[in-house]
Amino acid sequence: MEKAAEPINRPQLRKAMSEKLISIDAVVNHVMESWPLQLSLQTSTRNEQVALSEETTVKRAGVRVDPGTIQPGQRVRVTMRTTENYRVVTELEIFD
């Protein structure tokens, strides 16, 4: 009896299918001076807590800047890679 072939890289395929990229527009309420840098954000409907990582790209006017330039009151767009188990901030764009 022949055994059915299994798809290659099944766990990676499931992970890729369940990952989503989402972006939120918000205003920075508070910057926690810790590492990883943690932000309290206010969207149009709720408060969000996010943490940056070493892989997070921070930009202002399309130019990469230091995460230390993030300040309360700034408008930002945060792009995150999410699954049901975690979310990782991949990019934060500052709009002054």
Q: What is the CATH number of the domain that holds 47?
A: 2.40.50.140
CB atoms within 10 A of CB 73: 8
Which residue range(s) make up the domain with 72? 20-95
pLDDT at 7 over 60: no
Is 2 inside any structural domain? no
Coil, strand or helix: which one is 71?
A: coil
DSSP 3-state percent helix, strand, coil across the chain (nearest 5): 10, 50, 40
Give the pLDDT of residue 13: 47
In a domain, 5, yes or no: no
**Span 35-90, pLDDT tens digits:** 889 999 999 999 999 999 889 999 999 999 999 999 999 999 999 998 888 888 99
**Four-residue CA torsion sign, 55, 34, 60, 89:** positive
Is the residue at 1 inside a domain? no
Res. 34 pLDDT band, cuts 50 70 90: confident
